[in-house]
Amino acid sequence: MDEQKTNCEENDSEPTDDNTTAKQLVSSDGESKVIPAADESGANAASSNTSSESVRACALCNCVERSLHGQRELRHFGPFSERPTLKPSASPLPQPGNDDLSSIGFSDSPCLTALLDDSGCWVHYWCAVWSEGVKQTEDEELENVDKAVISGTQRICAYCKRLGATIQCHAEGCSRFYHFPCSAASGSFQSMKQLVLLCLEHIDKAEELGEESWCAVCDSAGELTDLLFCTGCGLHYHAACLEIGATPIQRAGWQCPECKVCQTCQPGEDSKMLVCDACDKGYHTFCLQPAMDSLPTDPWKCRRCRVCMVCGVRGLVLPGSAQWFDNYTVCEGCQHHRSSVCCVCSKAANPSVALQCCSMCH
């Protein structure tokens, strides 16, 4: 599968601080452990589209249907409101984002006709239902999603600073808006029952929601900023109570231990589930490409969380079969180069002199 073309261009922008591996850099102990070259298929990135047809993406978060940020399915919403007549536009559809937190929404105000047509628009169910002004009718339909799309083209997300933000902080007078993936990534409090978001500055108000804000482990609100929101069941968990991290990529689309499903096949059996050390998303060993026979004993990282600390290449750009070294921080190519270059004087050594210091520095 090589449908990852949209992922290649984006490795220059890095606003998220999810790079937990940066400090490990290249260890020079000369013992680079080979990590099994198995991986998930990365099927979330528009694998089902065929040739010329453009990939359908959400008119708010600009992610494709199989996004990892918990937005649920893409739905079509018809026009509910009067809106300016849209002239057909010559401008191309915006490219769907690559699901990286740095590519949520739109950098420039997208042309409305690219997002909406006379029959309506495509939006993730949860991107729609949390949006300001969207109402749920008695028969569970959502109204005014198109209005939200129109207002989103002018609204900047308080977290990622890109357009398409429609989820407003519930605190009175607060004008912060977020994309759905950024709601969680920003550490805001989210209530699934009331579809309410409270930004970090107003997170104290979550205590007024009583049990809604309690951690499922310790049964107390405790440190509100430490709470992770499960996009499956809506329960909250303190990161500390689960002994996991709370980085933006872990928070976005987070699923609690009860709800965790494989990101490749979605529901399915929960045996042989690998959990990524960096983003806390689950993958079946048998859904990886190539498949793994058993759970590895060392920490494992999914392809989207692998970044080479030497050349900057990202895991999604390399084939799933590519090998990684040093806890997924050195790519195959750089490892190969590293093992043939002296780590002290950087001169190419006789390939048979592996690592450590070559004869030229001694």
Binding site for Zn ion (CB under 5 A): 58, 60-61, 71, 104, 124, 127, 157, 159-160, 169, 171, 174, 176, 179, 182, 199, 202, 215, 217-218, 230, 232-233, 238, 241, 256, 259, 262, 264-265, 276, 278-279, 284, 287, 302, 305, 308, 310-311, 313, 331, 334
Q: Say if CB 89 and CB 113 are below 8 A apart.
A: yes
Alpha-carbon distances, residue 308 vs 3, 26, 32, 112, 327 (angstroms): 21, 10, 14, 38, 10
Please list, in sequence order, all residues whose beta carbon lies within 8 angstroms of the beta carbon of residue 332, skipping any fewer than 6 positions away: 318, 322, 323, 324, 325
Contact 50, 313 (CB under 8 A): no
Q: Minimum Å distance from CB 245 to Zn ion?
A: 12
DSSP 8-class letter at 71: -
By the 10 Å C-beta count (0-12 exposed, 13-18 middle, 19+ buried), 195 is classed as: middle
CA distance 223 to 51: 49
Minimum CB separation of residue 87 from Zn ion in Å reads 25
DSSP secondary structure of 321-361:
T--EETTTTEEHHHHHHHHTB-TTT-PBPPTTS-SS--GGG
Pick between residue 102 and residue 113 the one whose CB is nearest to Zn ion: 102
Identify which of residues 169 and 317 has a Cβ nearer to Zn ion in the complex.
169
190 bridge partner residues: 197
Smallest distance, Zn ion to C-beta of residue 39, A: 11
In terms of CB distance, is 298 or 361 closer to Zn ion?
A: 298
Whole-number Å distance between alpha carbons of 156 and 176: 9
Least Å from the CB of residue 349 to Zn ion:
19
Q: What is the CA radius of gyration of the chain?
A: 22
3-state DSSP of 123-176 = EEHHHHHCCCCCEECCCCCEECHHHHHHHHCCCECCCCCCECCCEEECCCCCCC
Q: Which is nearer to Zn ion, 279 or 358 (CB)?
A: 279
Min CB(298)–Zn ion separation in Å: 15
Find the shortest distance in angstroms from Cβ 14 to Zn ion.
15
Nearer to Zn ion, 111 or 162 (CB): 162
Q: How long is the chain? A: 362
Measured from the CB atom, the residue of 174 and 353 that comes closer to Zn ion is: 174
* Residue number, 88 or 101, with CB nearest to Zn ion: 101
Question: Shortest gap between Cβ of 62 and Zn ion (angstroms)?
Answer: 7
Peptide bond into 92 cis (omega under 30): no
Structure-derived torsion over alpha carbons of residues 228, 234, 236, 242, reported in degrees to the nearest 10: -70
Between 111 and 157, whose beta carbon lies closer to Zn ion?
A: 157
Q: How far is the CB of 206 from Zn ion (least distance, A)?
A: 11
Nearer to Zn ion, 23 or 87 (CB): 23
Minimum CB separation of residue 198 from Zn ion in Å reads 6
